[in-house]
A = this chain, B = another copy of it.
């Protein structure tokens, strides 16, 4: 097949790709979800919530989300400094979908657990 040089320019699947590139990162889903739960979160606090992220990746991901207008970054110029993150309006529009996705995940986790129980009973 090799690579088809044509980019998915006007394909209807393209906006699917567009959206996934904006929320598909390793941490983006959890960040958006956490911001919806807590409304406002400070940088360090967010790091503690995600629990498996480095400052570098957290900064990088937050910058991307900010660039795409999904979150709002508010800096307080004081010592020690304080930076608060919150959902933008566009970002907030994604919450219903993430909620749906979370429920799907919960359901699937439950289903897998049952399957594992079955197999272990058979063993």
Contacts and interface: CB of A to CB of B under 8 A. Distances in A.
Contacts of A3: 52-54
Interface string A6-30: 1110011101111110111110111
Dominant secondary structure of chain A at its interface with chain B = helix
Contact of A30 (B16, B48, B55, B106): B16
Contacts of A104: 19, 93-94, 97
A8 B97 contact: no
A48 to B, nearest CB: 7
B7 A98 contact: no
Given A1-B44, A2-B54, A97-B97, 15 more contacts: A1-B47, A1-B58, A3-B53, A4-B52, A8-B52, A13-B30, A13-B50, A19-B102, A19-B104, A20-B29, A22-B105, A24-B26, A24-B29, A94-B104, A97-B100
Interface of A: 1-4, 6-8, 11-13, 15-20, 22-26, 28-30, 33-34, 37, 44, 47-55, 58, 90, 93-94, 96-98, 100-102, 104-106, 108-109
